[in-house]
């Protein structure tokens, strides 16, 4: 099936923290998206996490315990997002969201990793940065409460459409099906601009000093796969 004919379910979550082994979902949203129709259906819920929401998490998404008092549990709302009316899940930084959500064996496409393929020279890849870099119009997100995942899901839906439009105008060899697209997206990206730390942020990776690259490889344990691949690439060249 052509990419233009697929229906994607764009997901977003807000959580009590970053560790899916200990933290829980407090807000979940999905936007059903298809080329030519945009985001044609949306669903969102506040979720009772069953544990207190720490202030560090509330400072990010502004959800506090009183917002989720009496809300459904994640198990109660998940069936809304598990129907047979879409072909693949989508999320921005999908590894995070689907650390908390079951994919049920469905394909998962990450718009952040796809953005790194499509626009490799950017210093940042958050969905809000890409929203304004690409001048995406998301009027349906305006005025939504800050404590909902829906606003981010709507932005990611528009970002997905922009990425698919780019691919339609710039066909990539061997990228024709959904499986091709996910494989291409998941392959390590050789980043062009350093977006790590502050000392060399914004500098082309090719110009980052070798001793700094060696320090990163030796000391930084939480590098994302693309950054690690890029550091190792330029260390081998140096």
Q: Where along the chain do its domains lie? A: 3-186, 189-238
The pLDDT of residue 147 is above 70: no
Could you report the per-residue pLDDT of 206-220, keeping only the tens digit for each? 999 999 999 999 999
Rg of the chain, C-alpha, whole Å: 19
Convert the pLDDT of each residue in 120-135 to its tens digit: 888 889 999 999 999 9
pLDDT exceeds 80 at position 158? yes
Q: Measure CA of the first residue to CA of the last residue in the chain; give whole Å.
A: 44
- DSSP labels, 87-143: SEEEETTHHHHHHHS--TT--EEEHHHHHHHHSTT-S---HHHHHHHTT---GGGTT
238 vs 192, 207, 213, 217, 221, CA distance in Å?
Answer: 16, 10, 10, 14, 22
Q: Is the separation of the CB atoms in 189 and 224 below 8 Å? A: no
174 CB contacts (<8 Å, ≥6 apart)? 180, 184
Confidence of residue 145 (pLDDT cuts 50, 70, 90): confident
Q: Name which of 119, 113, 118 is nearest 93 in CA terms.
A: 113
**In the CATH hierarchy, which fold is given to the domain comprising 3-186?**
Nucleotidyltransferase; domain 5 (3.30.420)
């Amino acid at each position: 099936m052509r990419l233009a004919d697929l229906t994607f379910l764009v997901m977003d979550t807000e959580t009590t923290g970053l560790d899916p082994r200990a933290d829980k979902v407090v807000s979940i949203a999905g936007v059903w998206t298809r080329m030519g129709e945009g985001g044609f259906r949306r669903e969102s819920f506040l979720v009772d996490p069953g544990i207190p929401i720490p202030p560090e998490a509330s400072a990010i998404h502004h959800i506090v315990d009183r917002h989720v008092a009496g809300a459904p549990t994640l198990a109660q709302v998940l069936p809304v997002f598990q129907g047979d009316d879409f072909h693949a899940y989508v999320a921005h930084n999908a590894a995070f969201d689907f650390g908390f959500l079951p994919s049920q064996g469905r394909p998962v496409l990450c718009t952040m990793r796809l953005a790194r393929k499509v626009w490799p020279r950017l210093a940042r890849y958050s969905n809000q940065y890409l929203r304004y870099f690409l001048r995406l119009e998301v009027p349906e997100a305006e005025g939504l409460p800050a404590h909902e995942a829906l606003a981010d899901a709507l932005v990611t839906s528009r970002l997905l459409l922009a990425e698919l439009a780019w691919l339609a105008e710039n066909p990539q060899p061997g990228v024709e099906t959904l499986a091709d697209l996910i494989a291409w997206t998941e392959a390590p990206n050789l980043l062009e601009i350093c977006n790590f730390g502050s000392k060399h942020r914004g500098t082309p990776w090719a110009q980052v000093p070798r001793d700094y690259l060696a320090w990163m490889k030796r000391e930084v344990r939480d590098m994302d796969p693309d950054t690690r691949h890029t550091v190792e690439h330029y260390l081998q060249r140096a």
